Structure 1
Amino acid sequence: MASPLHRSELLDDRSLTGKAFCDAYGRVVEAWLRALWDDAVASAPGGGAGMALVAIGGQGRDELCPQSDLDLLLLTARGVDASAVADGLWYPIWDEGLKLGHSVRSVRDTLALAADDLETATSLLSARHLAGDADLTGELAEKARLNWQRKGRRWLEVLSKAVEQRHLAHGEVAFDLEPDLKEGRGGLRDVHALGWARAAGADIDERVLAELRGHHDDLLAVRVELHRASGRPGDTLTLADQDEIAPRLGDVDADALMSRVAVDGGAIAWTSDESWHEIRTNLEASRFGRFRRDRPIEGDLVLRDGRIALPDETAPVYDASAVLRVAVAAARVPTRISIPTLQALQAAPDLGDPWPDEARELFVQLLESGSAAIPVVEALDRWGLWVRLVPEWEPTRSRIQRNVLHRFTVDRHLLEAASEASRLGARTRRDLLEMAALLHDIGKGYPGDHSEVGEELATTICSRMGFDPADVAMVAHAVRHHLLLPDVATRRDLDDPATIELVARTVQTPERLALLRAVSEADGLATGPLAWSEWKAQLVDQLANRTSKLLNGDRVDEVVSDPFPTEAQRELLGKGGVQIQAEDDAITVVCPDRPGVFHRVAGVLALHGLDVISAAIHSEDGMALDEFRVDAGPSGIIQWDRVGEDVVKVLEGRLAIQARLDERIRTHRGRRRPGIHQLGHAVRFDNDASADATVLEIVGADSIGLLYRLTRALTDLDVDVRTAKIHTMGADVVDAFYVVSSGGAKIVDEAHQDEIRRALLHALEPIA
């Protein structure tokens, strides 16, 4: 009987990484599989004659990672019953807790399945004999290879579509914050797909695949450590995983690791895109006839074999604007740029300082192309042409943003923001909006506050491009204050005149306000769904509209005239007793005023898994009115009847809210992996942001029941909350409370502030 699989020592050997680990791990696993085979066939009828054990797919490629499935085919000659051998193989594998992709088929049945199934067909291209009848394995491998070649054109079409769909579904290795190392664009699967395409007859030089081998093996090494560190299958490199994996592979930190991943992913993606463009072009040509060698596009440019090209790619380029003319043409078609043309453009003269008007206009036209401009800029950047246009871009290249709000690296985020801005141009000057969106985070590649540094860089860049000084100032101002509207809208009371006056003083003109509003949306949309939502858009619009009215001459008391409480809420106040009204994403609670109403209701909302995003408090004549707006989550459904029942119980002292919240925390603690907390705990007091209240800003790690704990701590210190704005940023929160003392005054006493700070920092600590 075969011994158990001993792999713990190998998994713990940190000296073995990447391909070396895969080779060693594969040898251990396959030696054990051969021992299982010997045991299985020893007791089987016929002794295993007419059968073979074959490694296919990733195992066939010798790329077994710690949590990879074993990809095994029990191959049989025609008419051979392999059920007994199969049981002797599969059950011991399952008993070891290994994941298994398995099948039992004859050569004929396997080839028949591979004739129409891409996954089966490609898995057989790496078929490798493990045990049994080697001639049987050889027959299968050879026929599978010949069938793949024989139907090569059809398989290339199928594979091409599969590559496109996979890229859409799995993102990009080079630019995503948490990339899919295997299936993403620029991942391991792209290297495999190029090998399959070459086997199908695509004109891919073997040297191209050899050049990718190093990048492939780098990503494979990261995947090995991802499986080791997480102890689970999967290929998405999360923020939490990055911190643990970096030192395992000798990187100084996660940023260094992810920079390497970005370089590897970018190189694979570039080669993959170039190769598949050629393959698709050739497929189209064979279907509809060859393209004419040169088809005039615009100016003196041509479409040559499906790519934008200079008419004579061997001639010197004397036109300094040629790079931009080629880029604009490629974005408009859209298509890729000829490699010889990119090489020729490297020798083009610089544009000078300032640029000629034509170059500036072409640059804006490129940005106006929206998403079509992104692959064009990537091509220019890969050939060193983009940084010649924008030298300040260099430090942003592949720069990781370790912030769960962001989906992309800094450079890709800027291009995505410019793309989003191209759709919002009707709201303001299109050219200025696109420039501001393109440059708003360019300061992140430099020391210092990125908004302040970005303002200086934007001034330099736009001046060099030849923009009018007034336009330069507009773009620079937008870059400096691109966070103003979303930050104020989510963290400050929009009914407070001081809030609107602050924004108006900062923007000064309606034109600047309109530009900032559009930049805010472009930035948010390009960042990700956590950064821009319907709720945030509504708040930003409300802030922008009120500020616009003030800038256009309205009085501030007229601008913030939205009543709170509303007439309907005042009717609830007049009824007395406990009144609860809930609709959509808001709940209003009326009850006799006493300390602790706010934190008790907040606790009930937390108990029902509802995240509070804003709250307002009002009291008069011994009655309290608290209004909460909540995030309903993906379903958008809130069981307000059950919530209301618990609110009544907690207000009547019939619900052990603290105990229930502690129980919920213990229950949910192990269900989710913790996020990355990027903001240190802090409590800040601002007595200038409001005329009649202290703005208390609390920053720290989010957790279940946090709002309850914070507001309970304030209640214990006789601090009254008037308004709350709750802003969640991934695993962290930035909460703002408008508070007054028990006497209704601002909190200015430093000793009192120190005690409040002490209590709130304690509330931020996770419950043991």
Structure 2
Amino acid sequence: MRTAAASGDAGDLVKAKAVLLEPGPGKKRLSPEALRAALVDLHDFWLSSRATSIGISDRAALVAVGALGRRELAPWSDLDLVLLHDGRKDVERLADALWYPLWDAGIGLDHSVRTPGQAVQVAATDLRAAFGLLEARHIAGDNALTTKVSDAVRQAWRAGIRTRYDEIADAARARWEKVGDVAHRIEPDLKSGHGGLRDVQLLDALAAAQLIDRPSADVVEARRLLLDVRTELHRLAGRARDVLRAQDADEVAAALEIADRFELARALSGAARSIAFAAEVGLRSARSALPRRGLAALRRAPVRRPLDTGVVEHAGEVTLARDATAARDPALMLRVAATAARTGYPIAAGTLHRLADTAPELREPWPRAARGELLSLLGAGRAMAEVVEALDRTGLWGRLFPEWGVVRDLPPRDRAHVWTVDRHLVETAAQAARLTTRVARPDLLLVGSLLHDIGKGRGGDHSIVGESLALQVSRRLGFAEQDVTILGAMVRHHLLLPHTATRRDLDDPATVARVAETLTAEVGPHAGLLLDLLAALAEADSLATGPGVWSPWKQQLIGDLARRCRTFLAGEPLPAPAVTTAAEVALAAAVVAEGRPQLAVTESGSDEPATVAIAMPDRGGSLSAAAGVLALHSLEVHAAELRTVTSGDVEVAVFTFTTSPRFGRLPDPALMRSDLVRVLDGGLALDEALARKERDYAPAMAVADAAPARVLWFDDEASGAVVLELRGTDRIGLLHRIAAALEKSGVELRWARVATLGASVVDSFCLEAAPDGDRVRIEEAVLAAADIG
């Protein structure tokens, strides 16, 4: 291999690399780390041989920067090379002799030719170039020239760091804002994301300026995992790629001998969060360590300003007062955290480490002061998320909540979730802090929000498992036994309201009675309090799940259910079930008089769903036709109420849809009615029109790694009906397809509700009771209609 690579033909270099990537039958596949080392050795050998053969020796040097300079070369990384020279007249010849073979072989190349002065100058004006030259590694030629440039760049970097710090920090934060977190993205950017490989380079650059220490062992280990994943991603894709796509994650996990993509996501989350935390602390520590010169050196050192008992602000960070000790003050650690969240100042790294070394485990039950500081922290809202992250990264949060270990970095199984489970719990508590004025016990809302999914990752129903953990935690926190019971019930039933509101007929008194009786059985006379807590938790949970999960329609449904339950608990009569309205009767009469379908739109406000009422002769295919026309006009259906109205001797189907436009404004009712007439007359092939629309919009709405659809059945004992629930991937015209499948199965529908959660849907259909044998046939038809393929 070395002989071939040394020939000077870069094509031989490409062939040698191909052998490393695919060693052939009977040959052992190189591990990611071994592959990177072999690729570095291969390129070093070819480049040094080539450089020697063309005369790069005295007064010229070939230097590697970037991935090759750091010895982090992934299979399809570009080569970043600098040709240094000290005034040689033939430098253009040398450069051409180096670059052209690489270009001809199709090797990605980022190159430059510099004198020592030019190299130092470009490093002083271009951050990217400076970071690269700080990592420069000699390949061939005059080693003294490389050393001279490397020393000069590092000296200039240290000397000028004070004037460049703001640019460094601003560039890092802008990159984080643009690319997002590696830890929480479904498809993370391993290189540029917050917690990615560029943040390790940032730490190295700050260390080179002698502002911080070299990265710690956990950051080094995290960097190795990110490099391994990126290496396998390159090997799998056959080209440079830094974003780990969902459809590639299982293969990358298998190559790294990790169980599956979920375990890989969990490992990546932990690694990225370690790097991100180190980068944030590193930037703050570097700012504090900047050299003071000129008039700045004459200014007094920052004063320590008291913030709370044992807590002061110093140089823009929360730190401990000189006489504060965690051993004598059990609530000190939580007071520091609550103060940081309340003021917006970060906790100093030294303070975190000191608390990690000295803070004892709180006795059980917790002292009242400690519980009060926890509630103060949770009540701070969004600001507390980064504080909890800092506590967790230094082991302090796990000391408070040992149960946290199972959900830490646990990836979500539901695509609607954008956070890991532990971060989702924190985000839910942050959202709940905005809702504390709605409930009589804000302390229970905050703690219940923090614990509602604590049972995930342990097997079994996470609500049931979580209840026992919530009881355990709340007793440890020192809550009264009555409050402990309420917190356990909050976790056990945190899905009761949203599931009931979207899967049951709220006009049916039995639905309301079932919810109210469930709450009363749990907490007796405190059922009203539990109801209010669950309603607020449902909102906070949805808001913390992902975009669009808490919709005006969902808010309306849960609010309506909660109001009916309060009425029931108060012993007052429930609202009478909805009956045929005058407007529906008028629509049905117009259908009979004109012999054509009718359509009416009622708007409820800019942020509220609109109502579309459609009436047509009651015959097979009516619902699927109506739903298809709405989809054709980009209306997203949230619910459908189905009635049969007799006008004269004619039965008319009246459908009332609760809808929102997917894009822009509501469509013209006249155009929708015209299309409905064409569908019923056979002039518009609805399935073909929807397929064309789906093709047009599919690239923007496509879901990678779509999960297979599922059907669940729920019996409604009060009415004798059954509820079919479809869980699947959203697509244009899905309600039309499902309705058509049900109509062909001969099923009579009472109502339908559609909940869209990001790219997923949970659609519920209330059917007249069907024998168990029919359920199998109906389920097969629905799943076939929902197939995303």
Does 528-537 or 713-722 show the bigger shift? 528-537
How far apart in 2 are the matches of 1:354 and 1:82?
76
Q: In structure 2, which of residues 440, 446, 462 is the aligned counterpart of residue 450 of structure 1?
A: 462
Partner of 2:523: none
How far apart in 1 are the matches of 2:670 and 2:52?
65
Matches within 5 A, 1:327-726: 327-333=337-343, 334-337=345-348, 339=350, 342-343=353-354, 346-428=357-439, 429-508=441-520, 509-558=527-576, 573=591, 576=594, 577-581=596-600, 587-606=612-631, 611-620=636-645, 621-630=650-659, 632-633=661-662, 646-661=675-690, 674-678=703-707, 681-688=710-717, 691=719, 693-703=721-731, 705-726=733-754
Given that 1:601 and 1:650 are in contact with CA atoms closer than 8 Å, whether structure 2 keeps it comes out as no
Which letter maps to 2:557? Answer: L
Over aligned residue pairs, what C-alpha RMSD do you find? 4.1
Does 331-340 or 403-412 show the bigger shift? 331-340
Tell me how many residue pairs correspond in the alignment.
Answer: 752
Report the Cα offset of residue 641 of structure 1: 7.3
Report the Cα offset of residue 181 of structure 1: 2.4
How far apart in 1 are the matches of 2:75 and 2:710?
37
How far apart in 2 are the matches of 1:308 and 1:147?
33
Partner of 1:727: 755
Matches within 5 A, 1:263-302: 263-283=270-290, 287=296, 289=299, 291=301, 294-302=304-312
> Are 2:40 and 1:18 equivalent residues in the alignment?
no
The 3-state SS of whatever aligns with 2:750 is strand
Q: In structure 2, which of residues 757, 766, 778 is the aligned counterpart of residue 738 of structure 1?
A: 766
Given that 2:37 and 2:71 are in contact with CA atoms closer than 8 Å, whether structure 1 keeps it comes out as yes
Report the Cα offset of residue 529 of structure 1: 1.1
Partner of 2:157: 148
The 3-state SS of whatever aligns with 1:452 is helix
In the TM superposition, what whole-angstrom CA distance separates every residue of 1:348-401 from its partner, at most 9, and x where no partner exists?
554333333222222212212223333333343344433343333332222222
Partner of 1:742: none
Does 570-579 or 749-758 show the bigger shift? 570-579
Does 16-25 or 558-567 show the bigger shift? 558-567
Given that 1:156 and 1:197 are in contact with CA atoms closer than 8 Å, whether structure 2 keeps it comes out as no
How high is the TM-score relative to the length of structure 2?
A: 0.82
Which letter maps to 1:614? Answer: A
Given that 1:399 and 1:445 are in contact with CA atoms closer than 8 Å, whether structure 2 keeps it comes out as yes
Q: In structure 1, which of residues 109, 122, 126 is the aligned counterpart of residue 131 of structure 2?
A: 122
The 3-state SS of whatever aligns with 1:442 is coil
Kindly tell me: are residues 454 and 693 of structure 1, through their superposed partners in 2, closer, same or farther at Cα, counting changes over 3 Å?
same
Given that 1:318 and 1:349 are in contact with CA atoms closer than 8 Å, whether structure 2 keeps it comes out as no
In the TM superposition, what whole-angstrom CA distance separates every residue of 1:161-211 from its partner, at most 9, and x where no partner exists?
233333344443445554432233332122110111122331x223x4566
How far apart in 2 are the matches of 1:467 and 1:524?
26
Sequence identity of aligned pairs in percent? 38
Report the Cα offset of residue 143 of structure 1: 4.4
Kindly tell me: are residues 136 and 564 of structure 1, through their superposed partners in 2, closer, same or farther at Cα, counting changes over 3 Å?
farther
Given that 2:308 and 2:339 are in contact with CA atoms closer than 8 Å, whether structure 1 keeps it comes out as yes
Report the Cα offset of residue 249 of structure 1: 0.3
How far apart in 2 are the matches of 1:342 and 1:38?
51
Which letter maps to 1:548? Answer: R
> Are 2:776 and 1:754 equivalent residues in the alignment?
yes
Which letter maps to 1:695? Answer: V
How far apart in 1 are the matches of 2:668 and 2:138?
59
Which letter maps to 1:727? Answer: A
Report the Cα offset of residue 762 of structure 1: 3.4
Q: In structure 1, which of residues 149, 156, 161 is the aligned counterpart of residue 170 of structure 2?
A: 161
How far apart in 2 are the matches of 1:8 and 1:623?
70
Unaligned runs of 5+ in 2: 1-8, 521-526, 604-608
Partner of 2:524: none
Report the Cα offset of residue 73 of structure 1: 5.5
Does 128-137 or 730-739 show the bigger shift? 128-137
Partner of 1:195: 204
How far apart in 2 are the matches of 1:555 and 1:90?
85
Does 211-220 or 535-544 show the bigger shift? 535-544
The 3-state SS of whatever aligns with 1:370 is coil
The 3-state SS of whatever aligns with 1:336 is coil
Partner of 1:743: none
Does 440-449 or 330-339 show the bigger shift? 330-339
How far apart in 2 are the matches of 1:553 and 1:159?
65
Matches within 5 A, 1:75-224: 101=110, 112-128=121-137, 141-174=150-183, 176-202=185-211, 204-206=212-214, 208-209=215-216, 212-224=219-231
Does 595-604 or 123-132 show the bigger shift? 123-132
The 3-state SS of whatever aligns with 1:425 is helix
Given that 1:400 and 1:409 are in contact with CA atoms closer than 8 Å, whether structure 2 keeps it comes out as yes
How high is the TM-score relative to the length of structure 1?
A: 0.84
Does 604-613 or 558-567 show the bigger shift? 558-567
Given that 1:302 and 1:311 are in contact with CA atoms closer than 8 Å, whether structure 2 keeps it comes out as no
The 3-state SS of whatever aligns with 1:455 is helix
In the TM superposition, what whole-angstrom CA distance separates every residue of 1:26-83 from its partner, at most 9, and x where no partner exists?
45567777899999x89xxxx9999876543334323333444444567788898999
Which letter maps to 1:320? Answer: P
Given that 1:370 and 1:418 are in contact with CA atoms closer than 8 Å, whether structure 2 keeps it comes out as yes
Kindly tell me: are residues 430 and 3 of structure 1, through their superposed partners in 2, closer, same or farther at Cα, counting changes over 3 Å?
same
Which letter maps to 1:723? Answer: W
Kindly tell me: are residues 672 and 159 of structure 1, through their superposed partners in 2, closer, same or farther at Cα, counting changes over 3 Å?
same
> Are 2:80 and 1:61 equivalent residues in the alignment?
no
Kindly tell me: are residues 694 and 285 of structure 1, through their superposed partners in 2, closer, same or farther at Cα, counting changes over 3 Å?
farther
How far apart in 2 are the matches of 1:113 and 1:511?
66
Kindly tell me: are residues 711 and 384 of structure 1, through their superposed partners in 2, closer, same or farther at Cα, counting changes over 3 Å?
same
Which letter maps to 1:25? Answer: L
Report the Cα offset of residue 579 of structure 1: 3.1
How far apart in 1 are the matches of 2:328 and 2:292?
33
In the TM superposition, what whole-angstrom CA distance separates every residue of 1:529-551 from its partner, at most 9, and x where no partner exists?
14333443333333333433444
In the TM superposition, what whole-angstrom CA distance separates every residue of 1:386-438 from its partner, at most 9, and x where no partner exists?
33433333322222223222222222221121111112211112211101111
Kindly tell me: are residues 463 and 585 of structure 1, through their superposed partners in 2, closer, same or farther at Cα, counting changes over 3 Å?
same
Kindly tell me: are residues 590 and 462 of structure 1, through their superposed partners in 2, closer, same or farther at Cα, counting changes over 3 Å?
same
The 3-state SS of whatever aligns with 1:696 is strand
Unaligned runs of 5+ in 1: 740-745
Partner of 1:248: 255
